[in-house]
Amino acid sequence: MNRLLTVCILLFSLSLTTVVSKGQSPALVECFEERTFRYTGGKYKDAEIKYRLHSPQTIRYGRTFPLVIHLHGRGEAGSDNTRSLRHLDSILPVLTGPKRQDFFLLVLHCPSETPYWDFRSTKDGTLDVLVAAMEHVIAENPVDKKRITVTGVSSGGWGVWELIMRHPDMFAGAVPTACSAPQQLQRLAALKQTPVWVIVNKGDRLVNIEPLPMAKQVINRSGGSMTFTEANAPLLGHNAFVPAMKDYNCIRWMLAQKRGSWLSPLPGVIVQKPNSLLLAFLMYFLPFAIIVFLLWENICELVSTLYQSVRKQIGKI
């Protein structure tokens, strides 16, 4: 009897360990408030939609904060409103502790019967529900509308692509992970104001990286900004979200994005501190100063030529 009890305790402990290993640790769950809202549209009629929201530690009157949206993978669909948090342990230091950053983080939970975010969700309106949840959060909280970014993993990565293509004027940045890129070139060309940083794992057999260079070419030639990175994390397999956040600090890159700001770091730039003046100096002012220094004589000659030309034109008048 004692042996049977011991085996049961070990099995129970193992099951708890499995839950924690999937990213649903108590410390992570405590960072998010469980919320719901009512939604009607498409096949939904006054449906109770579940989502999780992480909020800034201190909210002061007159101050607004960035909003990050996370789209979970197909395996995290369900109804418990916690499975959707899987993989977010990788950004736990940014959510709590001394390295905490103040921002909102929205995680909507796809129901089991409609686990996809991408183009397959067009008929059931999953992304429409997400946008409604986002608008609901913005209406109730001090969100900076110029600093809304989105990320996702696997099926959620495809959902990121579909979301920013449907709403090219809404997001300040996007980080799709563990996915490739759509081949809808006309829609990609519209992403002129949404920087995109794609992260995939080397050797991930579930991701075909061949469309990524073409997508990058289309977006960049259209005036946008995109890059893709192959992370060297073979032990994580298909999960490229963890190295994206741990090795490349993509969450800080997202928090540093602002629509219409030329100080926002480009995709592929690892950011140690959001909105850093040192980063802005190194990325923009220092290269400009070096170019001016190297071309100073040519610049002076050009200015002198233009000055003489203007004087001649005035003299003719």
**Distance between CA atoms of 188 and 172, rounded to whole angstroms?**
15
Supply the pLDDT for residue 14.
Answer: 33
Looking at residue 286, its amino acid is L
Buried b (16+ CB within 10 A) or exposed e, 266-292: ebebebeebebeebbeebeeeeeeeee
Residue 282 has pLDDT above 70, yes or no: no
**Distance between CA atoms of 64 and 50, rounded to whole angstroms?**
24
What does the pLDDT look like over 166-188, one tens digit per residue?
999 999 999 999 999 999 999 99
Supply the pLDDT for residue 284.
Answer: 61
**Distance between CA atoms of 214 and 160, rounded to whole angstroms?**
18
Residue 275 has pLDDT above 60, yes or no: no
Q: How far, rounded to the nearest angstrom, does the alpha carbon of residue 279 sit from its chain's CA centroid?
A: 20
Supply the pLDDT for residue 157.
Answer: 94
Which tokens go with 206? 């579930």
Question: How does the average pLDDT of the chain come out, rounded?
Answer: 84
What does the pLDDT look like over 30-57, one tens digit per residue?
999 999 889 988 778 888 888 999 999 8
Residue 303 has pLDDT above 60, yes or no: yes
Could you count the other beta carbons within 10 Å of the beta carbon of residue 8? 10
Alpha helices in the chain (DSSP H): 2-21, 26-29, 92-95, 126-140, 155-166, 185-188, 211-221, 241-246, 250-255, 277-280, 286-294, 296-316
Supply the pLDDT for residue 288.
Answer: 74
The SS3 assignment for 129 reads helix
Percent of the chain with pLDDT over 90: 50
Which tokens go with 48? 């109770």
Instruction: Quote the CATH superfamily of domain 22-274.
Output: Alpha/Beta hydrolase fold, catalytic domain (3.40.50.1820)
Residue 295: φ, ψ to 5°: -105, 20
Residue 132 has pLDDT above 80, yes or no: yes
Residue 198 has pLDDT above 90, yes or no: yes
